[in-house]
Amino acid sequence: MAFSFDPGLSTLRDQIRLRLADTDAASAVFDDLSIDAMLSMYSYDEACAQLAESAGAEFSRMASVVDNGPLRYEYQERATFFAGLAKSIRSIAQPAPGAPIYTGATGGQMSRPDLRKYRTD
C-alpha cells in the first residue's frame, strides 16, 4: 500500500490525510491511490466526506470489540466517529485551498418584476 504524508501539507492528499487523522504510515486507513481517486471525482470537502464514510463502513464491518491482552479495540466507536466526521465535513464544506470562494451570489443585473396588474389606482 503506497502511503505518503508531508507535514508541510503541500498537496490536497496531505491535507485530506491530516483532516481524517490518517497521518501514520504504520496504521494508515487509505492508500494514496484511493485518496487521489476521490479527489479526481469530487470536490475537496466531498472527497473528505466520502473517504470518512468509507472508513466508517470499513470499521463497522469489523468485530465491535477486540480484546488483545491489555489492549482493547472498539471498532464500532471508530465507525460512529467517521460517520459523524463525514456529516460534520459536509455541514461546514468550504472550497478547496486556493479555489474561489462561492458565496451563492450571482452576477448580473436583476430585473424588476412587472407589478402593473397589482396597481390599485
Q: In the chain, what are the domain boundaries?
A: 12-90
What number of other Cβ atoms are within 10 A of residue 82's Cβ? 24
How far is Cα 100 from Cα 1, in angstroms, rounded to an integer? 34
User: In this predicted structure, what is the pLDDT of residue 113?
Assistant: 67
> So what's the pLDDT on residue 97?
62
Contact 95, 88 (CB under 8 A): no
How far is the C-alpha of 81 from the C-alpha of 74, rounded, in Å? 11
Tell me the pLDDT of the chain (121 aa) as tens digits: 677 777 788 888 888 888 888 888 787 888 888 899 988 988 888 888 889 888 888 877 776 677 777 877 776 777 888 888 888 888 877 655 666 555 544 555 556 766 777 777 6
- Beta strands at 65-68 and 71-74: parallel, antiparallel or unpaired: antiparallel
pLDDT at position 121: 66
Place of cell 472550497: 95
Q: Report the pLDDT value the prediction gives residue 105, as an integer from 0 to 100.
A: 47
